[in-house]
Structures are given as structure tokens and as C-alpha cells.
Structure 1
Amino acid sequence: MPDKATPKPLGANGFKYREQFGVIVVCKDEAEHKAAYERLKAQGYKCKVVRV
């Protein structure tokens, strides 16, 4: 079993990968987008706004 105190080496380009999980919510318009963001933030989720 690996020692958790020993840090994992960085990749060849120096990038340290950290696994993350996310959910994408597709909204019908900007108003729904804002409401969904505010509702998730109020529930304690860490959110990032993306518009494509």
C-alpha cells in the first residue's frame, strides 16, 4: 500500500493532476441559468459559470 505522506510526482510538464467531478446543467435561457446557479450556490455547491 502506498504511503499517503509521500507526494505523487508531477507529470512531465509539471502539471499536478487532481481528480474532480462535475455536473452540467443545460438551461433554456439566461434567467434559468442564473436561477440554477443561485439555487446550487445556496445549497452549498461550488459552482463555475460557463456560457457556450
Structure 2
Amino acid sequence: MKRKETAPPMLGSNGFRYKEQFGVIVLCKDEAEHKAVYERLKAEGYKCRVVRV
């Protein structure tokens, strides 16, 4: 059986190992919607991070 080749880990100039990630940004009209969207996505099993700008 042939072994699947994988790309070597990407290293930055400082030696940091980069791990590719994907995300989605949801723009909310206010803090209440922000909380509701976060809670809904979390309940659906998504890994979420809260950001306020």
C-alpha cells in the first residue's frame, strides 16, 4: 500500500509552526444579537471566539 504524502509543516522565519485555520465573521447589529448568535453557534457544536471591535 502506497503511503499518502503530506506537506512538511510550514515554518516562519522565527520557527513558529503555522497551522492553517478557517473562520467566519458574523456582523451583528447589537450586543444582544452578538450574544444570541454566539450561543446558537456554540450549541450547534462550533468552536467560537468572541470579538468586539
**TM exceeds 0.5?**
yes
What is the CA RMSD across the aligned residues, in angstroms?
2.0
Aligned partner of 1:38 in structure 2 is 39
Please state which structure has a larger fraction of its residues in strand. Answer: 2
For 1:1-52, what aligned pairs fall within 5 Å after superposition?
Answer: 3-4=5-6, 8=9, 10-52=11-53
SS in 2 for 1:34: helix
SS in 1 for 2:45: coil
Aligned pair in 2 of structure 1 residues 32, 9: CA closer, same or farther (>3 Å)? closer
Aligned partners of 1:31 and 1:42: how far apart in 2? 17
User: Aligned pairs, how many?
Assistant: 50
Deviations 1:5-27 (A, max 9, x none): xx636332021100000000000
SS in 2 for 1:26: coil
Aligned partners of 1:29 and 1:42: how far apart in 2? 20
